[in-house]
Amino acid sequence: MRYLIDFLESQAIQTCPIYEHLKCSEQEALVLQMMTKEYVIGTVDIAVSEILIKLFGETNYEHLKHLPLVKELIEQGWVVQNSFLSSKSVDISNLELLNSTVTLSSAFLKLLEEGTLEVVLPDVTPYADHLEYLKDQFFRIELYQKLGLAKHNATENAPSIGRIKSKLELLESRIVERIKVTHDEIVVESIFKENELSPKEQLIFLALLKEEYAGEFESLRDMNTLISLISVDDYEKIKNRSLLEEGSKLIENLIIDYDEMLSTFGGVTRSFFISEEILQKIMHPNKEKKSKKIKLDMLIAEQEVFELIDPKTNLDDVVLHPKTKEVLDNLLKHIDKNVVKLLREWGIKERRSGIDAKIILYGPPGTGKTMTALSLAKSMKKRVLSFDCSKILSKYVGESEKNVRSIFDTYKELCKKTKSEPLLLLNEADQFLSGRSTESGSSADKMHNQMQNIFLEQIERFDGLLIATTNLLETIDPAFSRRFDYKIAFEKPSLEQRLELWKKLLPQGAVYENAFDVAALAHYPLTGGQIRLVVKNTALRVATKAKPIFTFEDFKGAIDREAKGAFGDPKAVGFMN
């Protein structure tokens, strides 16, 4: 009780050890000293008029002149008023305060006992989990709320504001230090980095997240409340409104959303909340992607339209012509949030997120069209719904048209149920894309034309990423060609590309004969698909040998068999001059 006794016995109040923590005037400290003397002899609640008369007397109503001292102590948090709710006490007049009773606050009593009010923060240790991290961040939001209230009720240099700022700075520096030593992913911090949120945008997000976890009075969802939280003055309030308006990063990136409601006076107010997808990612780390994947797997098992594929390679694993690689790399940039924002501003893109592109990959079999489509999906972190277009035709009139609609209807239904957007891959789409018959009036031609018309209509209305593969581009109907954003040619690989393919596909860790020359294999004009098949067939044969050593002749034999099977002419494959 050393600090308490020092305060009670102090003749020069400024020299008392706890005075520097009070950050108040000498007269205010004297009021606290008088109340403390009454408190230790058992008077917990004391009338304001009684305190002031004891200190300043009532001659010429001197005590009335010092009423602001008590009100200031209430605003600073050292004294609590009993006659009114503490939230309303700052709004009452001095005369209303005169005949009310007050008591020392718990914060002041703690200061008397411990000699300090420094906030107790955890040591600089890694965050054990995201809940421990959120506990600190939510306390931070509470301090910002208290700071805003203190600024509203006092001048900028009020002692209470200084104390709150000091606690806030200490807490914020401690949060930064703990994040630095935390090795496990903190989902909220990942969201901040991924979306490049500014400090003020982060505060808005954390305030809304705090509301989601507490969620009782929705005090932090209103635009004015959120803006006040991050603003130091009226000018900043006007400036910061842009952070919660259409076109802002938080809304454009689908991080937060809002509901509009009519106010009592006929205006429109907005109530903000964190989007469901982001909220689930935070509340259930590592669970969301898994649950979506399982759900899509279950739905695919219940239908017969699509094959579900999880790509294993990305674009860096595929040997492509430099021009083709450049086109696909540019396509990947379309998922960049800054690019999406610009496209929306220019009226080119309507949706806030996701990629909208319809692509034709055309070229001879085995040139890597399907593998490229799958690798593009992998680079975009998408799964693939694949449909074999050669299965679309039906001998029953009207069934083929119905099957075409089923492709797109089923795709939309799966996307809606799983809240995901897999890549839609239409393999061997030649019959869909070929020119429509204008001369023959046979029922088969009419059915084919009707099927293509429906396909054309569905392509026109499709939102998302669609890739169609075909062997021939020359026969594509111009009406289809106009509706695809990209038409990418796949030609047989050059000598340099074949050499790169052989190096990628040859078994790693296998034993090869001395002086084995992979460059010699690259001279055979094979496609990527043929090289993959030759490597597989050669490996199967070598694995059965007493000494499993790969030789040039092993590959040469598999190449000759592939050439005969593919072309019917063994002379079609040979060294190129």
* Confidence grade of residue 88 (pLDDT, cut at 50, 70, 90): very low
C-alpha dihedral sign at 448, 454, 456, 462: negative
Whether 269 is in a domain gets the answer no
Residues 328, 343, single domain; the answer is yes
Whether 382 is in a domain gets the answer yes
Domain boundary among 449, 469, 489: 489
Whether 279 is in a domain gets the answer no
Whether 323 is in a domain gets the answer yes
Q: What is the pLDDT of residues 402-452, one digit of tens each?
A: 888 888 999 998 888 887 889 999 988 877 776 665 555 666 677 778 888
**pTM, to two decimals:** 0.49
Residues 33, 58, single domain; the answer is yes
Domain boundary among 489, 511, 530: 489
Whether the pLDDT of residue 123 is over 80: the answer is no
* Confidence grade of residue 246 (pLDDT, cut at 50, 70, 90): confident
Q: What is the pLDDT of residues 364-385, one digit of tens each?
A: 888 889 999 999 888 888 889 9
What is the pLDDT at residue 423? 92
Residue 348 near residue 282, CB atoms below 8 Å: no
What is the pLDDT at residue 439? 58
Residues 348, 466, single domain; the answer is yes
Whether the pLDDT of residue 561 is over 80: the answer is yes
Whether 350 is in a domain gets the answer yes
- Distances in Å between the Cα of 240 and the Cα atoms of 337, 437, 482 are 21, 61, 44
Average pLDDT (549-571) is: 76
Residues of the chain with pLDDT > 70, as a percent, come to 82
Average pLDDT, the chain: 81
Residues 361, 452, single domain; the answer is yes
- Domain total for the chain? 3
CATH number at residue 6: 1.10.10
Residues of the chain with pLDDT > 90, as a percent, come to 23
Residues 467, 516, single domain; the answer is no
Average pLDDT (282-301) is: 69
Q: Which residue has the higher pLDDT, 214 or 396?
A: 214
Taking alpha carbons only, the member of 296, 462, 470 closest to residue 383 is: 296
Residues 513, 477, single domain; the answer is no
What is the pLDDT at residue 91? 55
> Which range has the top average pLDDT, 197-211, 314-328, 389-403?
197-211
Whether the pLDDT of residue 217 is over 60: the answer is no
CA distance 109 to 3: 10
What is the pLDDT at residue 473? 67
Residues 347, 471, single domain; the answer is yes
What is the pLDDT at residue 441? 60
391-428 burial, b for 16+ CB within 10 Å, e for fewer?
A: ebeeeeeeebbebbebbbebbbebbeebeebbbbbbbb
* Confidence grade of residue 84 (pLDDT, cut at 50, 70, 90): very low
* Confidence grade of residue 243 (pLDDT, cut at 50, 70, 90): very high
CA distance 251 to 166: 33
Residues 444, 556, single domain; the answer is no
> Which range has the top average pLDDT, 250-264, 267-281, 302-316, 559-573?
302-316
Q: What is the pLDDT of residues 330-342, one digit of tens each?
A: 877 766 656 666 7
Residues 501, 435, single domain; the answer is no
What is the pLDDT at residue 76? 77
Residues 305, 396, single domain; the answer is yes
What is the pLDDT at residue 349? 61
In the block, tokens 């006490």 appear at: 89
Whether 511 is in a domain gets the answer yes
Residues 302, 406, single domain; the answer is yes
What is the pLDDT at residue 474? 65
Strand partners, 304: none
Q: What is the pLDDT of residues 512-550, one digit of tens each?
A: 999 999 999 999 999 888 998 999 999 999 999 999 999
Whether 90 is in a domain gets the answer yes
> Which range has the top average pLDDT, 79-83, 131-135, 481-485?
131-135
CATH number at residue 509: 1.10.8.60
Domain boundary among 429, 454, 489: 489
Residues 80, 28, single domain; the answer is yes
Whether the pLDDT of residue 197 is over 90: the answer is yes
CATH number at residue 335: 3.40.50.300
φ and ψ of 233, to 5 deg: -155, 180
Average pLDDT (162-182) is: 86
Q: Which domain holds residue 317?
A: 288-489
Q: Which residue has the higher pLDDT, 87 or 209?
A: 209
Whether 217 is in a domain gets the answer no
Strand 268-274 to 256-262 pairing: antiparallel
